[in-house]
Structure 1
């Protein structure tokens, strides 16, 4: 069985809180490699590394949601019970929501903040995300992804990287398609939703739909750029996250 790896981006043994970062479909922990230094010393930053990418390229990827979430829970259970916040981008936003729900159910006082980016509220489905991708060859698949997200990640411009990352991207989209949203108790923590003004995925949906997931403060903010604004607007994004975490 594949396992989830939680990579510490900068060890901070004296930390009193943690932040878990969860990447977009096909992405790995290295997406966040420069993020830890933006956060104060009391927050230790981790990135979730799904199998099938980067240093886990030869490990079979998850395609079943229940199995993947179970592996996440097992990995988190080995941590000390410190306060925790989650940031998830696109596919990662849905994973972050489900992990935040678990923390809130077990120890609601531990959940500090949920940041969901580049993803409509998962309680509704949207036609733009419905094409059957399994039957598409690589060129057709990339064309659909480009239409769906407005642009492909820059790494897909490099032939060698594209060849390595396409299988994990396909698997992650199967993973997302296996997800079934279930209404749950709203979270007790603040929830912030981020989007890119040129991202077709979030422009089709009212982001305020996410507000139903919390009984605490809800905010949304848009950045210039498209689906991958976490890279093009990284400094602005991190500044906003730091402000919200230090106010929590």
Structure 2
């Protein structure tokens, strides 16, 4: 019997194995906590690699390498919640938290629900940054059908002008189209709230995700919800890197009971 062909891309991504979803090597043995970081649409792991230094002592920052970008640029860019969950579960050999920015916040939320379905240890916290609550249409969905460049501009960036260069544009467009398609196709399905602390981060000048609107994330946890407002627009993790890092690391150190205040 001939195998169905429609699942080729998913099969190829799954065949990559959990190890392909992270930088080579294992987290430092001295790290007490892992922080898995999920990107915004079209984004990669590079932005999170700047989260390093004394502030992160005892925390291993683990950016997730989604297919179709950076070291995985030769792979189909599609991914599923189940694939990302498996990759994180295989990597999580100690307490961990999840940070997701924009698209990554919704992906992180669904990963946390999938972890619960599998009866696996939950994260210490889920950071949801620059994202409307999952039961409210995503800001990017307001631009369904718009040109990719218009949708990128709505994020408050021009990707450092990369889309103006034909070679770079050809590398970036597949992942951008795939991510925007994931955002457009996302549908919230009611379930009981997570029993995980949710920590919101909102850009005070974000035109698409207003800080007050993010308070709706509180509906999705039976634990605590805290919201921080950060200077900048939608991609404040790039423009207000130090402030964002201090908030994220500080919250995680407190939740994990780690020594040292920052």
Q: What TM-score results when the alignment is normalised by the length of structure 2?
A: 0.80
The residue aligned with 2:59 is 43
Q: Does residue 30 of the first structure (1) align with residue 41 of the second (2)?
A: no
Among 195, 213, 216, the alignment partner of 1:209 is 216
Where structure 1 has 5 or more consecutive residues not aligned to the other structure, the ranges are: none
Q: Following the alignment from structure 1 to structure 2, what is the Cα–Cα distance between the partners of residues 34 and 226? A: 19
Q: Following the alignment from structure 1 to structure 2, what is the Cα–Cα distance between the partners of residues 110 and 38? A: 27
The residue aligned with 1:194 is 201
Please state how far the C-alpha of 1:42 moved relative to its aligned partner.
Answer: 2.7
Specify whether residues 15 and 144 from structure 1 end up closer, same or farther in structure 2 by C-alpha distance, changes over 3 A only. closer
Among 6, 13, 22, the alignment partner of 1:2 is 13
Q: Following the alignment from structure 2 to structure 1, what is the Cα–Cα distance between the partners of residues 66 and 175? A: 9
Please state how far the C-alpha of 1:164 moved relative to its aligned partner.
Answer: 1.8
Segment drifting more, 211-220 vs 40-49:
40-49
Please state how far the C-alpha of 1:144 moved relative to its aligned partner.
Answer: 4.2
Q: Following the alignment from structure 1 to structure 2, what is the Cα–Cα distance between the partners of residues 21 and 184? A: 24
Please state how far the C-alpha of 1:49 moved relative to its aligned partner.
Answer: 1.0
Q: Deviations over 1:1-20 (max 9, x none)?
A: 21463324883123332110
Q: Does residue 240 of the first structure (1) align with residue 247 of the second (2)?
A: yes
Among 126, 132, 154, the alignment partner of 2:160 is 154
Q: Deviations over 1:120-146 (max 9, x none)?
A: 11201267624443xx6xxx4313442
Contact 2:141–2:183 (Cα < 8 Å) also in 1? no
Segment drifting more, 40-49 vs 187-196:
40-49
Q: Following the alignment from structure 1 to structure 2, what is the Cα–Cα distance between the partners of residues 208 and 48? A: 26
Among 222, 230, 235, the alignment partner of 1:228 is 235
Specify whether residues 179 and 157 from structure 1 end up closer, same or farther in structure 2 by C-alpha distance, changes over 3 A only. closer
Specify whether residues 183 and 36 from structure 1 end up closer, same or farther in structure 2 by C-alpha distance, changes over 3 A only. farther
Aligned length: 238
Pick 1 or 2: higher relative contact order, CA cutoff 8 A, min separation 6.
1
Q: Following the alignment from structure 1 to structure 2, what is the Cα–Cα distance between the partners of residues 38 and 186? A: 35
Segment drifting more, 232-241 vs 122-131:
122-131
The residue aligned with 1:82 is 94
Q: What TM-score results when the alignment is normalised by the length of structure 1?
A: 0.84
The residue aligned with 2:37 is 21
Q: Following the alignment from structure 1 to structure 2, what is the Cα–Cα distance between the partners of residues 185 and 246? A: 27
Q: Deviations over 1:140-194 (max 9, x none)?
A: 4313442x33443325365143332122111111112222211222222221111
The residue aligned with 2:130 is 118
Please state how far the C-alpha of 1:229 moved relative to its aligned partner.
Answer: 0.5
Where structure 2 has 5 or more consecutive residues not aligned to the other structure, the ranges are: 1-11, 256-262
Q: Following the alignment from structure 1 to structure 2, what is the Cα–Cα distance between the partners of residues 108 and 8? A: 23
The residue aligned with 2:179 is 172
Corresponding residue SS for 1:98: helix
Specify whether residues 106 and 75 from structure 1 end up closer, same or farther in structure 2 by C-alpha distance, changes over 3 A only. same
